[in-house]
């Protein structure tokens, strides 16, 4: 490679070198401050999943990547790229998708203005490392109180990752990946990445998953060392969504490991999507200032049969820009850096439609749907236009008043506005007998929602270098969370009133240590949330309500000990004490003092990595303690103990073959367990034992 590329590539790659040949003392992060910094010096809790762990786990979806990070609750009830993701309790309210957590790819926000994120158009086989920043206060987090997850993909300037990969596994699972990067000349670079996945999930009904993902990246290095990078990607994803189980059906699953047709009325749920995504960024240094403007755009459509209705949305467009600068200067005679910028984003949906189900059976003597027979569309039930607009400013000053002390001061202010215009032509008759007695009856007609929220997110962080290897930190951070447009619409339908924005304040102290023999992170925090938006579940419907106040207290530990360059042992633990301080559910039931549902008080994992002369292995085991299934705390689910995954592999020159087996001991447990206001209990199954054999050739 030419000298200019070699200099640039060394900078790009220094944060992604894995522990394959040497033991890293510390990993680097670009998420917390938008500039590269060792994780030991970050003034809050942050975890980095590196290249080696991603490859060893053969990661296809985000759940597999971060399921051992303490403070993170993540599982996929569909065994696909669509997870349920919660960080320190944030995201708990979501019925589907990811809420309250900012997802970023290479600095580009994947999260919509209303805090919703779809993972189906993120190709995990192109991801180099993952950073998880926990809690509010990040200058990267727009309308997100739970934290930030950044996915850093393989650079267009790096040709060391060219490969062909194939895999086959149980239950009809298949995967493939092709990546090729080429320097066209001294200044221009192209990279092509293409992936396919397929999983029949034949252990249960209605859970086929398949996707095709391609991306083309272009990079240019100018004479003055400034750079331009762009990416164009296409995704086509088809995902069937399996139904939940009753207690008796769950008992049968525990005996057999198979889930057949359940008693759920909605047997044909799915989400089929097609997405085009484009982004471009430029970086240029002028004196002490680095300019980093970026723009991005995506257009998508989906076909989404769900409870009672079939969503068909074909005209959805997202436009965004982030204009960032870094100013390097002196303060107190030490190096300091100011990161500042402005951001704007707009999500526009035109003519989004809902249809009735065409084929179904009804309950005898009533008109409720007892079973859908297909996902064919019936009559037009709803048509809607919506627009979510967000714009904001941010700034962070990082400086050292004395040599061993680092201080971060940051502030982010955003404005988010929702405009929704729709016409409800038909609605589903949940009662089965009122009105005309029809399954679908006349809707409420035209409606309009116009809501705006100002979101403020300040933070102060302090890090003190106790020794060369250990830092102590303290941080206080706050953020607001606006309700989503879907929550506003849902409450309109359910006549539950308006929703206020939440305010989250997080107090945290911790220790971080990095040596060649061991590393650990310890965090102790208290997160007070006022007006937290809480899901109220009743049957198949969900409405939302502001809880008066919740208090989340927790302790987290993550550590690794390197016995030598070949063998390392690690463990993580999270203690979560999350309670409602004030909460009148449905205005009549006092839940004050109760624990938040779904979040186990104890969650931990252990793992071991081994590599010697081409042979390699990884074993990990995860445990979720028991948790309450409802806001009333009337019943608990027992959780699961030591669900174990293993990897065995061999590398020789450019060849790699490995076997990944998840849930080795074939434990049959629930990914989630819920109890609604009517006392009905439902379970969503976790996958039984699965295996995947992959072969990779690097060139």
Compute CA 560 distance to the chain's CA centroid, rounded to the nearest angstrom. Answer: 24
Q: Band the pLDDT of 494: cuts 50, 70, 90.
A: low
Specify whether the CB–CB gap between 426 and 381 falls below 8 A: yes
Question: What pLDDT, on a 0 to 100 scale, did the predictor assign at position 13?
Answer: 35
The mean pLDDT value for 646-660 works out to 97
Q: How far apart are CA 472 and CA 513, in angstroms?
A: 9
Question: What pLDDT, on a 0 to 100 scale, did the predictor assign at position 363?
Answer: 83
Please name which of 549, 556, 546, 552 lies closest in space to residue 578, comparing C-alpha atoms. 552
Q: What is the DSSP letter of 595?
A: B
Three-state SS for 477-518 is EEEEECCCHHHHHHHHHHCCCCCCCEEEEEEEEEEEEECCCE
- Residue 437 above 90 pLDDT? no
**Range 81-90 burial, b when 16+ CB lie within 10 A, else e:** bbbbbbbbbb
- Residue 1 above 60 pLDDT? no
- Residue 132 above 50 pLDDT? yes
The mean pLDDT value for 140-168 works out to 93
Q: Band the pLDDT of 4: cuts 50, 70, 90.
A: very low
Helix (H) or strand (E) holding 51, with range, is: helix 51-57
The strand pairing partners of 504, in sequence order, are 479, 529
Q: How far apart are CA 656 and CA 645, in angstroms?
A: 19
- Residue 436 above 70 pLDDT? no
Average pLDDT, the chain: 91
- Residue 542 above 80 pLDDT? no
Please report the DSSP string for 527-550 in residue order: EEEES-EEEEEETTEEEEEE-SEE
The strand pairing partners of 246, in sequence order, are none
The mean pLDDT value for 159-188 works out to 95
Question: What pLDDT, on a 0 to 100 scale, did the predictor assign at position 544?
Answer: 84
Residue pLDDT, tens place only, 544-563: 888 889 999 999 999 999 99
- Residue 492 above 60 pLDDT? yes
Is domain 3-698 given the CATH code 3.20.10.10 in the classification? no
Question: What pLDDT, on a 0 to 100 scale, did the predictor assign at position 9?
Answer: 38
Q: How far apart are CA 658 and CA 533, in angstroms?
A: 44
Residue pLDDT, tens place only, 404-414: 999 999 999 99
Specify whether the CB–CB gap between 534 and 526 falls below 8 A: no
The mean pLDDT value for 602-617 works out to 97
Question: What pLDDT, on a 0 to 100 scale, did the predictor assign at position 297?
Answer: 97
Q: How far apart are CA 622 and CA 643, in angstroms?
A: 5
Q: Are strands 602-612 and 567-582 parallel, antiparallel or unpaired?
A: antiparallel
Question: What pLDDT, on a 0 to 100 scale, did the predictor assign at position 82?
Answer: 80
Q: Band the pLDDT of 120: cuts 50, 70, 90.
A: confident
Q: Are strands 108-109 and 127-134 parallel, antiparallel or unpaired?
A: unpaired
Q: How far apart are CA 362 and CA 364, in angstroms?
A: 6
Question: What pLDDT, on a 0 to 100 scale, did the predictor assign at position 392?
Answer: 96
Question: What pLDDT, on a 0 to 100 scale, did the predictor assign at position 493?
Answer: 58
Question: What pLDDT, on a 0 to 100 scale, did the predictor assign at position 481?
Answer: 92
Q: Band the pLDDT of 438: cuts 50, 70, 90.
A: confident
Question: What pLDDT, on a 0 to 100 scale, did the predictor assign at position 587?
Answer: 80
Q: What is the DSSP letter of 8?
A: H
- Residue 395 above 60 pLDDT? yes
Q: Band the pLDDT of 539: cuts 50, 70, 90.
A: low
Residue pLDDT, tens place only, 282-327: 999 999 999 999 999 999 999 999 999 999 999 999 999 999 999 9
Residue pLDDT, tens place only, 9-43: 333 333 333 334 444 578 888 877 888 899 999 99
Q: How far apart are CA 148 and CA 130, in angstroms?
A: 10
């Amino acid at each position: 490679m030419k000298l200019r590329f070699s200099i640039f590539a060394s900078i790009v790659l220094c944060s992604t070198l894995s522990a394959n040949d040497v033991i890293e003392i510390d990993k680097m992060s670009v998420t917390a401050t938008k500039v590269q910094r060792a994780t030991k010096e970050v003034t809050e809790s942050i975890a980095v999943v590196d290249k080696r762990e991603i490859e060893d786990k053969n990661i296809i979806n985000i759940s597999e990547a971060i399921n051992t990070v303490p403070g993170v609750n993540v599982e996929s009830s569909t065994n696909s790229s669509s997870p349920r993701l919660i960080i320190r309790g944030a995201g708990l309210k979501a019925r589907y998708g990811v809420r309250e957590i900012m997802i970023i790819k290479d600095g580009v926000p994947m999260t919509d203005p209303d805090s919703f994120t779809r993972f189906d158009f993120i190709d995990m086989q192109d991801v180099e490392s993952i950073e998880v920043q926990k809690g509010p206060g990040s200058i990267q987090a727009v309308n997100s109180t739970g934290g930030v997850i950044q996915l850093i993909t393989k650079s267009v300037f790096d040709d060391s990752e060219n490969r062909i990969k194939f895999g086959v596994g149980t239950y009809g699972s298949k995967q493939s990946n092709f990546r090729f990067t080429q320097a066209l000349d001294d200044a221009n670079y192209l990279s092509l990445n293409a992936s396919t996945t397929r999983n029949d999930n034949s252990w249960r009904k209605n859970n086929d998953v398949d996707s095709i993902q391609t991306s083309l990246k272009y990079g240019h290095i100018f004479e003055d060392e400034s750079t331009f990078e762009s990416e164009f990607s296409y995704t086509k994803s088809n995902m069937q969504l399996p139904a939940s189980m009753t207690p008796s059906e769950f008992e049968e699953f525990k005996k057999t490991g198979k889930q057949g047709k359940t008693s759920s009325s909605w047997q044909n749920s799915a989400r089929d999507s097609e997405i085009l995504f484009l982004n471009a960024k430029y970086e240029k240094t002028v004196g002490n200032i680095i300019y980093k403007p970026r723009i991005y755009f995506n257009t998508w459509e989906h076909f989404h049969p769900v409870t009672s209705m079939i969503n068909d949305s074909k005209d959805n467009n997202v436009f965004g820009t982030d204009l960032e600068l870094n100013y390097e200067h002196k303060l107190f005679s030490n190096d300091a850096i100011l990161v500042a910028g402005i951001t704007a984003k707009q999500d526009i949906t035109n003519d989004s439609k809902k249809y009735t189900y065409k084929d179904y059976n009804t309950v005898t003597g009533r008109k409720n749907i007892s079973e859908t027979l297909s996902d064919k569309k019936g009559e037009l039930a709803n048509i809607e236009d919506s627009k979510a607009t967000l714009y904001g400013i941010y700034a962070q000053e990082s400086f050292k008043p004395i040599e061993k002390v680092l201080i971060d001061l940051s502030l982010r202010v955003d404005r988010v506005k929702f405009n929704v215009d729709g016409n409800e032509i038909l609605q589903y008759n949940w009662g089965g007998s009122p009105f005309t007695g029809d399954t679908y009856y006349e809707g409420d007609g035209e409606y309009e929602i116009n809501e705006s929220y100002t979101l403020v997110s300040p933070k102060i962080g302090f890090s003190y270098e106790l020794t060369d290897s250990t830092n102590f930190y303290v941080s206080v951070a706050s953020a607001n969370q606006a309700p989503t447009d879907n929550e506003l619409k849902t409450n309109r339908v359910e006549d539950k009133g308006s929703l206020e924005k939440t305010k989250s304040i997080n107090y945290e102290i911790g220790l971080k240590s990095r040596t060649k023999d061991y590393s650990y992170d310890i965090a102790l925090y208290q997160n007070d949330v006022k007006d937290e938006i809480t899901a109220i579940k009743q049957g198949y419907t969900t409405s939302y309500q502001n809880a008066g106040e919740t208090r989340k207290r927790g302790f987290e530990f993550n550590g690794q000990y390197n016995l030598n360059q070949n063998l390392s042992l690690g463990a993580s633990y999270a203690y979560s004490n999350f309670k409602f301080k004030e909460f009148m559910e449905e205005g009549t039931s006092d839940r004050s003092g109760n624990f938040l549902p779904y979040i186990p008080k104890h969650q931990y994992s252990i793992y071991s990595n081994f590599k010697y002369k081409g042979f390699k292995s990884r074993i990990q085991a995860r445990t979720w303690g028991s948790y309450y299934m409802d806001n009333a705390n009337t019943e608990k689910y027992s959780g699961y103990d030591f669900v174990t995954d293993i990897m065995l592999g061999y590398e020789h020159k450019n060849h790699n073959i490995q076997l990944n087996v998840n849930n080795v001991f074939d434990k049959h447990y629930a990914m989630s367990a819920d109890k609604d206001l009517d006392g009905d209990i439902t379970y969503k199954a976790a996958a039984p034992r699965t295996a995947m054999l992959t072969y990779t050739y690097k060139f």
